Amino acid sequence: MQFSEEFAFSNRQLHNHPDLLSMCANAVDIVAKSACRGVQFEALQNRPLIRLHVDSKNDDAISSNESLAVALLINDEQYTQSNEKIKDSVLSKNRKHNRKGEKAKRILINKQGYLVVTNATAIESALASQEIAKRERMYELGWVLHRFYETYPTLRQEYTREM
């Protein structure tokens, strides 16, 4: 399938689609009633996990699309009109964990999401696949911990000790 920027940016918004949010909320309610004795769960804001694949072994394929990758990560549909410093900032913050295999894969992480771009070389590499999966799990864990530490002081103050 040919890549379409418009399609990519519209898919970037799927995690906020009202019908999908409603369907997920209904599924959680069903499970909560049947398996969790009706415990109410709070909906949390989610962050997108985006995977792009360039079907080429060309080492320049990933670096030539860096601006688009950063734009998808930060949801900047008008990225061609944006300041280059934005892209440079995101890339510099992600430089350390992209040193190994940087021509075959690029992992970009920030508070707005997680994005990985791979080419055919990375897909064939078990080590690259393991690293991508590890970083993705670390990102998800980071958001869970962030949410915990965000709410923990309030929960701690409201907690009544049992004696």
Q: Are 136 and 49 in contact (CB under 8 A)?
A: yes
Question: End-to-end distance of the chain based on CA atoms, in angstroms?
Answer: 63
H-run or E-run covering 106: strand 105-110
Q: What is the pLDDT of residue 159?
A: 67
SS3 at position 41: coil
Of 6, 109, 5, 117, give the one whose Cα is nearest residue 58: 117
Q: For 102-121, what is each residue's pLDDT tens digit?
A: 788 899 999 888 889 888 88
Report the predicted TM-score, pTM, of the whole model to 2 decimal places.
0.71
